[in-house]
């Protein structure tokens, strides 16, 4: 975001300060209510799509097919390594599920939105990448922190450069906002289920988990100050891929459980999850070793935390009552939770 702000404002200011200011601002929007966050994200998306389409249609007029003479300059290894890095652009789709508590008819809406957003985004990704590479060789884009602006500069049009910079700012801003939205809801759910301190499940007068939002924002700022952006991307990819790996394993296990109970649906194919596991393992092998070590450290910390909690609960307390994972998810609106809790307090 900071790099695009430099292009937009023609200044050179530490990028991290722009990012911190954005986190604080979007945390405030998040706290003010889910509708405010939804409207802001919708605005960002409209601007982003418009800017990317402008870039694609204008950029294709100066397209250099010669930049594609070598399609795989680094071979298969380079392609898979690139997929491991670019996976960061696809991690946001899973965040849609984290706000299912605040979506109408989530059982139908969430799957439909995920599939449509993946299809639309992938088409736009391919279009923009092809045009950018047609304007500037990949060797130049690889060393740019604002690649779309770098590509459009070849047209020597200051007005277009300004539009692209605006799009770069709104795109990265949207990532920050959705990131806070997703992680705060995860913290909220874990607090609600007693997997993290119960205070994280507190709902304020705007029907938002204010404590979870504050914690999520604080952690984001801490990572920005202590860790480089490249490391954050690699660690995020490793963490999300590991989560997907666990989900695919759980899906196969659940399939065989339902098959044993004779309750499974034939339309579900465990081969899909098996392919997912294989592809994830391949991509994980190409990620930075430090990011894998970081995720492993977090996993060990989580295992130790749950082990300690189980031992603590096991002393005279039915830990199964507190730790058991429900067989079916229960969707509860934040507003309804707040109203119920308020009613209970009045009765007390």
Q: How far apart are CA 67 and CA 133, in angstroms?
A: 7
Q: Are 197 and 165 in contact (CB under 8 A)?
A: no
Domains of the chain are 2-226 (1.20.1740.10), 227-313 (no CATH)
Q: How far apart are CA 256 and CA 251, in angstroms?
A: 9
Q: Are 18 and 176 in contact (CB under 8 A)?
A: no
Tell whether the torsion through CA atoms of 185, 181, 331 and 94 is positive or negative: negative
Q: How far apart are CA 4 and CA 170, in angstroms?
A: 10
Q: Looking at the predicted structure, is the pLDDT value of residue 62 above 80? A: yes
Q: Are 19 and 183 in contact (CB under 8 A)?
A: no
pLDDT confidence of residue 323: 45
Q: Looking at the predicted structure, is the pLDDT value of residue 68 above 70? A: yes
> Which of the residue ranges 25-29, 144-148, 203-207 would you say has the lowest mean pLDDT?
144-148
Q: How far apart are CA 56 and CA 46, in angstroms?
A: 16
Binning pLDDT at 50, 70 and 90, where does residue 337 land? very low
Indicate left, alpha or beta for 33 from its phi (over 0: left) and psi (-120 to 50: alpha).
left
Q: How far apart are CA 296 and CA 319, in angstroms?
A: 26
- The more confident residue out of 346 and 87 is 87
Q: What distances in angstroms separate CA 242 from CA 157, 247, 281, one per listed residue?
A: 43, 9, 9
pLDDT confidence of residue 33: 81
């Amino acid at each position: 975001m900071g790099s695009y702000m430099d292009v937009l404002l023609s200044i050179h200011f530490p990028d991290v300060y722009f990012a911190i200011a954005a986190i604080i601002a979007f945390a405030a929007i998040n706290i003010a209510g889910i509708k405010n966050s939804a409207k802001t994200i919708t605005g960002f998306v409209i601007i982003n799509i418009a800017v990317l389409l402008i870039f694609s249609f204008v950029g294709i007029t100066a397209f250099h097919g010669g930049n594609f003479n070598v399609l795989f300059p680094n071979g298969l290894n380079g392609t898979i390594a690139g997929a491991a890095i670019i996976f960061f652009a696809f991690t946001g789709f899973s965040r849609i599920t984290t706000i299912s508590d605040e979506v109408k008819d989530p059982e139908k809406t969430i799957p439909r939105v995920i599939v449509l957003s993946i299809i639309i985004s992938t088409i736009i990704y391919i279009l923009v990448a092809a045009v950018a590479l047609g304007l500037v060789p990949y060797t130049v884009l690889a060393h740019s922190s604002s690649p779309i602006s770098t590509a459009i500069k070849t047209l020597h049009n200051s007005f277009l450069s300004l539009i692209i910079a605006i799009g770069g700012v709104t795109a990265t801003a949207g990532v920050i906002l959705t990131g806070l939205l997703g992680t705060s809801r995860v913290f909220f759910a874990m607090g609600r289920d007693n997997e993290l301190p119960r205070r994280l499940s507190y709902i304020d007068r705007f029907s938002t988990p204010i404590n979870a939002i504050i914690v999520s924002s604080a952690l984001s700022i801490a990572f920005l100050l202590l860790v480089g952006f490249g490391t954050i991307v690699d660690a995020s990819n490793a963490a999300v891929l590991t989560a997907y790996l666990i989900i695919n394993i759980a899906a196969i296990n659940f399939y065989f459980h339902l098959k044993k109970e004779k309750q499974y649906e034939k339309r579900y194919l465990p081969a899909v999850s098996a392919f997912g596991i294989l592809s994830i393992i391949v991509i994980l092998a190409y990620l930075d070793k430090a990011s894998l070590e970081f995720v492993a450290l977090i996993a060990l910390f989580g295992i130790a935390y749950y082990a300690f909690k189980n031992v603590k609960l096991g002393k005279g307390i039915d830990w199964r009552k507190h730790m058991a994972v429900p067989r079916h998810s229960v969707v509860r609106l934040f507003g309804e939770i707040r109203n119920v809790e308020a009613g209970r307090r009045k009765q007390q």
